Copies of this chain bind each other. A is one copy, B any other.
Amino acid sequence: MTETHFVTGGAGFIGSNLVDRLLDCGRKVVVYDNFSTGRKVFLKRALSNPNFLLWEDDLLDLDAVTRTMSTAPIDMVWHLAANADVRFGLDHPRKDLEQNTIVTHNVLEAMRANNIQKIAFSSTGSVYGEPSLHPTPEDAPFPIQTSLYGASKLACEALIQAYCEGFGFVGYIFRFVSALGERYTHGHVFDFCRKLLDNPDELHILGDGRQRKSYMYVHDCIDAMLLAVEKCYNKASVFNLGVDGYVEVNDSMRVITERMGVRPKLTYAGGERGWVGDSPFIWLDVARIRSLGWKPNVSILDGVIKTLDWLLENKWVFANDCHE
């Protein structure tokens, strides 16, 4: 029988790429998205597929999501909807609590009401705060949180784990480094590209540009998630998802300016961190997901180039920027 997958945030960057992949694999897919940051155009291909169903509603509405999950027999939930904006958390401290923690609780309760027990969740390497170990493994020392975003995602992880123990759920928690690729709509490549299209002669860089970050190509990320869900049957599995290295923000900047053929004057905000709560060094140990047979196919800087090329071919994404 054809499996039906329920994808929250399915109109977003990673969500919509996952949806296309699931449909290509012959799955039925139900997307639930409030289009706060998702884009309907990302679902253009999906919308022409008879196995696809789109619900536009809000996850803060527990009744609505419970009802929606009852309209079809759902085999598993991919909970990707989130406030993914780590940088501006301090401007609206309730947003991460509501859009991440409370929403995740609602998803779990809606699943419980509908007897659905399998959930995959997009967490973040930000839950490691500023780790003492690099690359950082899943069982790193108990971290101290440094951002409201990380704090809220940790709360979601904890809720999912408690539902696994208490209600027999099977959970897959993926701690991502930042993803890059087609349909990417926020982050440093987006910011740099937008700024350089506005003014190719100047580029202001947050922090000192020496922040070391790991980035993963979105299709490598989706490969990893699909593999983990296929191969693991533990109560609650946690996987780091990332690549075997890191670059400095300056490295990425050089690739971007070269590809765009611009030579901007660089200015730096200074300091080790791009903003309060930014981790100056993100590099995850991905031995656990690699042990299942996965490996990334696209290097960090190739991912930057693919992302940039997509942005330059889809400049409309800059017109309706979601930053508040």
In this complex, how many residues of chain A approach chain B with their Cβ under 8 Å: the count is 41
What are some 10 contacts across the A-B interface (CB < 8 A)? A89-B166, A93-B163, A101-B101, A144-B236, A145-B158, A147-B166, A150-B158, A154-B155, A154-B158, A166-B277
Q: Is the Cβ of A97 less than 8 Å from the Cβ of B90?
A: no
**Does chain B have a CB within 8 A of A94?**
yes
Oligomer: number of copies: 2
Known: A102-B97, A165-B277, A167-B90. A141 touches B144 (CB 8 A): no
Q: Mark A155-192, 1 if CB is under 8 A from B, else 0.
A: 10111011101110000000000000000000000000
Question: Whole-angstrom distance between the alpha carbons of A167 and B138 in the complex?
Answer: 28
Q: A89-B166, A101-B101, A154-B158 are in contact. List 12 more A-B contacts (CB 8 A).
A: A93-B108, A94-B105, A97-B159, A140-B141, A140-B142, A144-B236, A145-B159, A145-B161, A145-B165, A148-B159, A150-B158, A165-B276
**Does chain B have a CB within 8 A of A139?**
yes
Closest Cβ of chain B to A228, distance in Å, is 16
Q: Which residues of B contact A141 (CB under 8 A)?
A: 139-142
Q: Is the Cβ of B151 less than 8 Å from the Cβ of A276?
A: no
Q: Which residues of B contact A157 (CB under 8 A)?
A: 145
| 119-155 of chain A: CB within 8 A of chain B | 129, 138-148, 150-152, 154-155
Closest Cβ of chain B to A236, distance in Å, is 6
Q: Which chain B residue shows the least CB distance to A157?
A: B145
**Does chain B have a CB within 8 A of A300?**
no
**Does chain B have a CB within 8 A of A238?**
yes
Q: Which residues of B contact A75 (CB under 8 A)?
A: none
Closest Cβ of chain B to A315, distance in Å, is 33
**Does chain B have a CB within 8 A of A109?**
yes
Q: Which residues of B contact A93 (CB under 8 A)?
A: 105, 108-109, 112, 163, 166
Question: Whole-angstrom distance between the alpha carbons of A139 and B147 in the complex?
Answer: 19
Closest Cβ of chain B to A62, distance in Å, is 9
Q: Which residues of B contact A94 (CB under 8 A)?
A: 105, 109
Closest Cβ of chain B to A241, distance in Å, is 16
Most chain B CB neighbours (cut-off 10 Å) among A102, A152, A162: A162
Question: Whole-angstrom distance between the alpha carbons of A154 and B143 in the complex?
Answer: 11
Q: Is the Cβ of A146 less than 8 Å from the Cβ of B161?
A: yes
Question: Whole-angstrom distance between the alpha carbons of A65 and B154 in the complex?
Answer: 26
Q: Which chain B residue shows the least CB distance to A136?
A: B142
Q: Is the Cβ of A151 less than 8 Å from the Cβ of B146?
A: no
